[in-house]
Amino acid sequence: MARSHKVDISGLLTGGRQLMLVEDEVPIEEFEGISFPTPAQVQLEMRCVDRLLHIVGTVDARAHGICDACLEEVDVPVHAELDERLDPNTGRDNDPFGESNVLTGSRLDVADLAQQVVLSEMPMGLRCSEDCAGIQY
Ligand SMILES: [Zn+2]
């Protein structure tokens, strides 16, 4: 069963609330051979500042894949810091996340947000360590 990770931020947008805290665990979809066996830990602080939704927070995940150099399986922690402003009024045209549905009306999709943040932090290729010597013959 997929659980919804959408958060209603209408209270922020109408000024009824100053601050919203979100703590969630969301699944991250596989990406170019890199899988995410455990849910990402998401912590967000959201405020409405000058009509913009200001989101700061962190996303922590574990990426699992194959080291590009030595082809061993690796687990790599992924830590992302988030500091974004979304304009709830203009919709996706000014969306820093581009083609996304992160914010639809007054609903923020935390899972979609986390997915994009994690992928933007991923290195081009996984390495088991920075000085991996590659395949040894
Ligand atoms: Zn390696």
pLDDT in tens, 34-72: 999 999 999 999 999 888 899 999 999 999 999 999 999
pTM: 0.84
Ligand 1 centroid distance, CA of 35 (Å): 17
> Which among 89, 117, 115 is positioned nearest to 103, based on CA atoms?
89
Read off the tokens for 29.
Answer: 């979809």
Neighbours of ion ligand 1 (CB under 5 A): 67, 69-70, 128, 132
> Which residue(s) pair with 31 in the sheet?
34
Ligand 1 centroid distance, CA of 34 (Å): 15
Ligand 1 centroid distance, CA of 117 (Å): 25
Share of the chain above pLDDT 70, in %: 88
Ligand 1 centroid distance, CA of 129 (Å): 6
| Residue ranges in the chain whose pLDDT is less than 70 | 1-3, 90-101, 137
> CA 41 to CA 24: how far, in whole Å?
6
Ligand 1 centroid distance, CA of 113 (Å): 30
Q: What is the pLDDT of residue 77?
A: 93
> CA 82 to CA 80: how far, in whole Å?
6
Ligand 1 centroid distance, CA of 132 (Å): 5
